[in-house]
Amino acid sequence: MLGALLKSSEPAKPRRALPPTSDPTDGFARFEALVCEFHWTALQIGAIASCMNASLASRRSWMLRACSNLVPVEAPVVKVALRSWQDIGLPRDLAASVARAYFNLADAKKLALPLINSAGIFVAPQIPLAKLEQIAVVWRKLAEDCREAALEMEPETRWRLNGAYTGNALVLSKFLKEAMSGLQTCVNQQGEVALPILPQRRQIPRFITLQSCKIFSQAGAIAAFARDTSRNDLSVDCDRDFRLKEAVVVTLRNGRKLPGLIVWSKDGKSGIRFDSPLPDDDPLIAG
């Protein structure tokens, strides 16, 4: 297969941006999608915990109405990423922490949804504060679990994605700590929720590369085929798999050298994170 790719390596439009839903088998795509979805889920969990805190502090159970649009849903891409955690080089403990958060979320939703739904009906009976306190404890604990998982995830995102999501971890850590401590900083007196802004919410754009290259490592040089590029990384096809975090240098057909680290490798496909991000006007990613 690799030989056929090398023979047809002249691209018509080498810098065309890939659509957002690029190859779901790509380790970059799966890892980044997992990070995006988990950060959003953690934000929603923190907001629901904050709403419960506000309802208890003001003794107004109707303030739970704001939670109806905040209940997280586990995205299919999360299940795919967690099932293939070894393929994308996710540490076992981190995969377990994220999986545990979603597992506990399912139980927390079963407890909270009846209260949230009844709070949206003006003629519904008053929700007992003692019951609300019990359920709020569950969501505060869930916020604590998400905070720990987000902090555990941050070093992985930093070395894989050059710190693009580090700002998210800082925002989430502060927000979730407030929620798990019983505070309600994102909820006003009218029960309206203003979520914190996550600095990084969109996936990093990828651009078609489609050219032959060589990958140099301690094991020597091997022919490869560069498929697509972002400012942080390069996806390649190759006849061998690499070790996670193995240092390599990619030499493009024009002689340009791109040093980096292997961040995933499976079935002849690998992802290489550049040692330094490409500038916006780099020919590989400039439109």
Could you please state the CATH topology (level 3) that the domain comprising 2-18+205-274 is classified under. Answer: Thrombin, subunit H (2.40.10)
Query: 173-205, pLDDT tens digit by residue?
Result: 999 999 999 999 999 888 889 999 888 766 677
Percent of the chain with pLDDT over 70: 87
The structural domains of the chain, with segments of one domain joined by +, span 2-18+205-274, 27-180
With a CB cutoff of 8 Å and minimum separation 6, the contacts of 242 are: 217, 248, 262, 265, 270
Query: Mean pLDDT of all residues in the chain?
Result: 85
Q: Which amino acid is at 105?
A: L
Whether 143 and 182 have beta carbons less than 8 Å apart is answered as no
The residue among 104, 103, 90 whose CA lies nearest residue 155 is 90
For the stretch 3-58, pLDDT in tens is 333 333 333 344 444 444 444 447 778 888 899 999 999 999 999 999 999 999 98
